Amino acid sequence: EEDHRKRRRNRTTQSCVNCHTSKRMCDRKRPCGRCTQLGLTGLCVYEVDDPNQKHDDQDEKSRLQKRVAELEGVIREV
């Protein structure tokens, strides 16, 4: 017997969790533009890392250094 109900596609979510849950457009950058604008860069996470976007250790290190500098600036403002 054939099942005539629609089957859900098995696709991974491309947008960050924050944009996905609030159903907003995500530019898929790390951190995305929307999270950056809202000051939620620390909360901009993706469920599954895209295997096509491989980050080497040097890129990850520079990204983390930028993030630390950004957070230090926020702390200074407070």
pLDDT, tens digit, for every residue of 13-64?
889 999 999 999 999 898 999 999 998 888 899 887 555 555 566 777 888 8
Residue 68 belongs to some domain of the structure: yes
1: in domain: no
User: Which value, to the nearest 10 degrees, does the dihedral of the CA atoms of residues 75, 77, 37, 39 take?
Assistant: 30
Q: Is residue 30 part of a domain?
A: yes
pLDDT (0 to 100) of residue 23:
93
Q: How high is the pLDDT of residue 51?
A: 55
Structural domain span for residue 38: 17-77
3-state per-residue secondary structure call for 51-70: CCCCCCHHHHHHHHHHHHHH
**Counted domains in the chain:** 1
Q: What is the pTM of this model?
A: 0.50
Give a yes or no: residue 3 inside a domain: no
- For residue 1, the model assigns a pLDDT of 59
Residue 39 counted as domain residue: yes
pLDDT for residue 7: 73
The answer to whether residue 65 sits within a structural domain is yes
